[in-house]
Structure 1
């Protein structure tokens, strides 16, 4: 483990717990966890090590939240697993290219997408409030495997922050799920994205396992607490947190773009 002060380790563990809670409710915990690692690690530690350690921490909390949701939420585990396998492959491909593409070129595009997402959710109060009454055909499932699986999985391996939020929105729109069920399904898919990316980072020796193990304990606690709260509060609560996280992502990306 790199030379980090006790105070900074405590800060990273608190950030891991908060990120786990956010991830479980609506995704986007990487908005907090990855920047915390980038700021907390010594300057000589490469960015890819922060990305790899982030995945090692996040997969624990995401798995805990996924198990909590799967026990109590009406999740189609078979469909979620199919999307998750595609997401694993997409994330591995993105991780292989991590560091090749400049974040400066991706940031404006992501900001535009997030603003469109925020506008859509804000001005469509019924979005994700109740599931669709009709059946979801194989075409929509295939689209979810392609977009939410391969596409968003690739983004998660390449950059990461906001992945869970994108998954929730894509699954809600494509599979006609309510926001609570979409969030629960996204957790299973997110396990796949984290696993695919982690395999690549671990194979390249870009994971700080001691630090990751410590932070993972707090991430797991936060993730399970967030999942239980989302189940208790329902889709309205998830929608409010979703809009808050999207707004925070836009502000963060904007500050980075024009800093």
Structure 2
């Protein structure tokens, strides 16, 4: 679907900018961009595919911004990124066959649980804590599983990565956010390759939205690096609750 009115196009660009801004800090950009694409008349699988294209710009933009400031070591995280991409590719293959609606039933409850965890866990800031899972097991077990989810459905994947990095890897919030964006970029790339192969991406609007996502992610990542946990924690809680409410209201 390429022939959109100017008004619809501007609304999609605004949604992409906001998605990039929010996603670069707390995740959840997909639940802004995907509904906007659906409302514009795209089919579910085309909305997912186009979202992965424009999401590459947002997650890539945020990843570079965090890496430049030393919050994530790209080379050291390449194996995890590869596993995230592989998991997402498998999920995207499934998404072209089976709709991801099966995730709607339990996803809101998971998002509320994540919100409660971050809202009420004491002493949560930007300082690393003891990890509960070795980097090897974390990369081998947790990363591809969340990547798979991102490929088959997507919304909330950033929040799941954040929870995993904080609860299992022991990362502080800013470091967790930076690493989440890298793995999100990788999962977007893996899913994007599959959706492109199946020809379900609207390239024109996807690239336009990608430019808006890039700008939004730059603004969001700078705000996160400036304020750290003070902005990341409340926005993460608000985003999770908003995503859960959106999913429940859409039933």
1:142–1:56: structure 2 CA closer, same or farther, 3 Å change rule? same
1:103 deviates by 4.0
Q: CA RMSD in A?
A: 1.7
- Whole-angstrom distance in 1 between the partners of 2:204 and 2:101: 31
Question: Is it true that 1:206 corresponds to 2:206 in the alignment?
Answer: no
- For structure 1, the 5+ residue unaligned runs are none
1:49 deviates by 1.2
- Whole-angstrom distance in 2 between the partners of 1:82 and 1:171: 16
Residue 59 of structure 2 aligns with which residue? 62
1:6-55 alpha-carbon deviations (Å, 9 max, x no partner): 000000000000000011111110010011011113xxx43211111110
Calculate the TM-score normalised by the size of structure 1: 0.91
SS of residue paired to 2:238:
helix
SS of residue paired to 1:177:
coil
Aligned length: 251
- Whole-angstrom distance in 2 between the partners of 1:146 and 1:169: 17
SS of residue paired to 2:134:
helix
- Whole-angstrom distance in 2 between the partners of 1:128 and 1:95: 34
Question: Is it true that 1:151 corresponds to 2:150 in the alignment?
Answer: no
Residue 169 of structure 1 aligns with which residue? 163
Query: In the TM superposition, what are the counterparts of 1:86-105 in structure 2 within 5 Å?
Result: 86-105=83-102
Residue 123 of structure 1 aligns with which residue? 120
- Whole-angstrom distance in 2 between the partners of 1:56 and 1:200: 11
Calculate the TM-score normalised by the size of structure 2: 0.94
Residue 223 of structure 1 aligns with which residue? 217
Residue 174 of structure 2 aligns with which residue? 180
SS of residue paired to 2:250:
helix
- For structure 2, the 5+ residue unaligned runs are none
- Whole-angstrom distance in 1 between the partners of 2:127 and 2:99: 39
Question: Is it true that 1:160 corresponds to 2:154 in the alignment?
Answer: yes
- Whole-angstrom distance in 2 between the partners of 1:252 and 1:213: 26
1:102 deviates by 4.6
Residue 244 of structure 1 aligns with which residue? 238
1:147–1:165: structure 2 CA closer, same or farther, 3 Å change rule? farther
1:98–1:128: structure 2 CA closer, same or farther, 3 Å change rule? farther
